[in-house]
Chains A and B, each alone.
Chain A
């Protein structure tokens, strides 16, 4: 993290506007300090700061969208903020949604949420002794969170009803793949497999859409907050299961299908015990095959952003050459060698 005295000029302007935005909502006596830059990234800017109001001090997070990819799979900050409010109402732990930017703030698109202390790095969460207790309760907690989210009335998130991923998630992936213009014959074989076996009569619920280790803040006692709602959409509840169980999110703990931490049977049972509808393991498998396709397309997207010059970075270039690792896991899963 950079110290405030190293801040570049545009950032000084943003901080002044953030201070004004805070005073508009919390009064002229309010101030901000202890500002840290978390990311100045290609697609969003994240700052941490203290809201100081008299003797009270509260750590908050400023998130601002800085760039929108064409054909982006991510929803905009405004629906993200609404989703945080919906999730919170349904007992899903999320960073507390504090306020959204308004036009008079001159901060473009974004919002402020409460800071949640904890760990997000999968390597530490899967292996550090400090998180041993958190790992013991992970399956039950993750299942409870999904059961509560999936029980929400999808009409509350009607603003998501017409997004490509809500309308037809497989078609949405293919439209993006075609836009990036890269041919993957093996991926297409998997798409045929998927087309011929689409789950029937699936319920339509509010999905997180990117529910996995890495997108949640955890403490030694368990899950503290679910982050990254920008892939949220309406669909089959088993889609969130398939994504969480995707081999790519086991981070080497291949025998622990649930995020590299838990076993499927315990997780499925915990979901049903928490009020979730019966889990369909065949549908979960379909969504895992779909998940590989989707994860490939996301990596192809990152590589496209790099080579097209929209946002260059060695990390995005590496994503391009990582795509075949996902494609390999996909074929091995279709073969039944991996589960």
Chain B
């Protein structure tokens, strides 16, 4: 069903822009929490834009490994996958890079930045 404008990404952006606008007028803990709120809204905007494609790619990438991240984590901890380290490490690095691209893309080393 069609919804009226603004769409969800635009709503998030609107709220974030407002929080950014008032941040400088705040002090102490309120200011800090406003900065955190703006950060969280930017994360939500990036997740909305890129999350589905990342999920799709990761499903394919991890299809041969345990099925979900809890089971994979448990198998790694048990030592059962110790011999697979060289194959698992690049996959998990990609997975973590995907998470950082949503949380804070500028945190990545230039070798892992897009564009």
B103 touches A183 (CB 8 A): no
B76 touches A317 (CB 8 A): no
Question: Does B77 make an interface contact (CB < 8 A)?
Answer: yes
Tally the A-B contacts, defined by beta carbons under 8 Å. 86
Q: How far is the CA of A332 from the CA of B97 in the complex (A)?
A: 11
Q: How far is the CA of A188 from the CA of B32 in the complex (A)?
A: 32
B54-98, CB < 8 A from A: 68-70, 72-74, 76-77, 79, 82, 85, 88-89, 92-93, 95-97
Interface size class of B (residues with CB under 8 A): 35 or more
Shortest beta-carbon distance from B88 to chain A in Å: 6
A318 touches B40 (CB 8 A): yes
Nearest 10 pairs between A and B by C-beta? A324-B99, A188-B76, A314-B36, A183-B70, A183-B73, A186-B92, A318-B36, A183-B69, A185-B72, A185-B73
Task: Please name 18 further chain A to chain B contacts, defined as beta carbons within 8 Å, in addition to the given A186-B95, A188-B77, sorted by A numbering.
Answer: A183-B69, A183-B73, A185-B76, A185-B88, A187-B73, A189-B76, A189-B85, A189-B89, A189-B92, A192-B76, A314-B34, A314-B36, A314-B37, A321-B40, A321-B102, A327-B99, A328-B97, A331-B96
Binding site for B on A (CB under 8 A): 1, 174, 183-189, 191-192, 195-196, 313-315, 317-318, 321-322, 324-325, 327-328, 331-332, 334-335, 337
Q: How far is the CA of A317 from the CA of B42 in the complex (A)?
A: 13
A328 touches B88 (CB 8 A): no
Q: How far is the CA of A318 from the CA of B32 in the complex (A)?
A: 11
Q: Cβ of B68: which chain A residues have Cβ within 8 Å of it?
A: 183
A325 touches B40 (CB 8 A): no
Question: Does B11 make an interface contact (CB < 8 A)?
Answer: no
